[in-house]
Amino acid sequence: MSRFDLSRDELAALLEGEPSYRVEQLWRAFHLEHLDVSEVTTLPRPLRQRLALEPALALAWRVARESTSDGGATRKWLLEADDGARVETVLMGYRRRTTVCVSSQAGCAMGCSFCATGQLGFGRHLSSGEIVEQVVLAAGEAARAGFGRLGNIVFMGMGEPLANAANVLGAVARVNRDLGIGARSVTLSTVGVVPGIERLATEPLQVNLAVSLHAANDELRDRLVPINRRYPLGRLMEACRRYREATRRRISFEWALIAGVNDRPVDAAELAALARPLGAHVNLIPLNPTPGYPVAGTDAAGVAAFRDALSERGVNATVRHTRGREVDAACGQLAAGMEVGGLGRRRPARVAAPAPLA
């Protein structure tokens, strides 16, 4: 739990007996920076001391480690909670707008073979407040570092957001209301949890949806993304179609390009056949190597050829700029403190790296 799980009324109740403006003062201070109550120097010292003892006002996360890359523009924090849960949050600073990549779970139960988080296994769900707290930490650091205002949130850190949909949507509503970041600036990336996509189709909050596809036939997708056995491509595409119809919003497909596995002309053709009718945009990410899946990402020429093959079939694709590779902050490399253990213990990859197909 985090202080950001409290409502304003609950905060007011904790401040009973104090002048009423204190509620607003503290609420604002909390949303400005990731500070302990004892450090909120606008409050009188005796009040600070009293509130510092209040468990409901505590922060969930301690920054256990910070790593930077790209000349300081990419910052990754390893965060640790009192129960030992560890997650990672990545801030990507650009001059005009800054993006934070947040975690929705400690570890992940989905077991995708190529993903460092999947190789870690499941720890626990994060509460809404624990997600909001990551955004507050990032916003404060972005301001301090002189980056552009934190305007975008992507759920591409640890965990599967639609396996923790209630808390994730609660967090989106809160950042919307309390930090002024609109749902349209929030992207949920899902491995394809069909009931979650169906729920998003009826949600009033209009977030962007990215679906991590990686394979466009069931045989290959079953191996790369085990949840495909439960929600195969037919059902997934049907859910995407309904989402698109209900929200009129464009979907994007994420595709980690794996050398010799899903980067052949036939893969591009199959992907285009799924993306085109949906008007989906494709994000191509050369696979980042992980300890449990020592297969190379597609090289630059191969990536360009794949993009061109999509474009010839009328599908727009963007090659995702990989940030933070040297601090393992890039997609799928988040494996919070794997070397140290903790909740979300390391366990061997359940799905062995597939041999490259002929």
Report the C-alpha gap between 250 and 297 in whole angstroms: 27
Tracing tokens 């010839």 back to the chain, one arrives at 312
Determine if 212 is a binding residue for ligand SAH (CB under 6 A): yes
- Residues with Cβ within 8 Å of 111's Cβ and at least 6 positions away in sequence, in order, are 118, 121, 226, 349, 350, 351
Active site residue 240: no
Minimum distance from residue 48 beta carbon to ligand SF4 (Å): 39
State which residue, 6 or 233, has the beta carbon closest to ligand SF4. 233
- Residue 21, SS3 per DSSP: helix
Residue list 167-206, contact with ligand SF4 (CB under 6 A): 191
How far apart, in Å, are the Cα atoms of 16 and each of 20, 39, 42, 79? 8, 21, 18, 32
Minimum distance from residue 340 beta carbon to ligand SF4 (Å): 19
Q: How many helices (H) and strands (E) does the chain have?
A: 11, 12
Tracing tokens 């468990």 back to the chain, one arrives at 55
Minimum distance from residue 114 beta carbon to ligand SAH (Å): 5
Contact letters for ligand SAH, residues 132-171 (x by CB under 6 A): ------------------------x---x-----------
Report the C-alpha gap between 354 and 150 in whole angstroms: 39
Which region among 15-23, 29-37, 81-89, 286-294 touches ligand SAH (by CB under 6 A)?
A: 286-294
Longest dimension (CA), the chain: 73
Residue list 11-70, contact with ligand SF4 (CB under 6 A): none
- Residues with Cβ within 8 Å of 230's Cβ and at least 6 positions away in sequence, in order, are none
Among 74, 117, 262, 290, interactor with ligand SF4 by CB under 6 A: 117
Among 34, 51, 79, 118, interactor with ligand SF4 by CB under 6 A: 118
Which region among 16-24, 60-68, 106-114, 291-299 touches ligand SF4 (by CB under 6 A)?
A: 106-114
Contact call for residues 157 and 87 (beta carbons, < 8 A): yes
Q: Which two tokens stand for residue 195?
A: 């009931």
Among 59, 60, 108, 335, interactor with ligand SF4 by CB under 6 A: 108
Among 120, 138, 274, 285, interactor with ligand SAH by CB under 6 A: 285
Question: HSE (CB half, 13 Å, CA atoms) of 352?
Answer: 3
Minimum distance from residue 260 beta carbon to ligand SAH (Å): 15
Active site residue 112: no
Minimum distance from residue 292 beta carbon to ligand SAH (Å): 10
Contact call for residues 275 and 236 (beta carbons, < 8 A): no
Note the residues at the interface with ligand SAH (CB under 6 A).
114-115, 156, 160, 189-191, 212, 254, 256, 285, 287-288, 290, 331-332
The residues carrying an active-site annotation are 88, 331
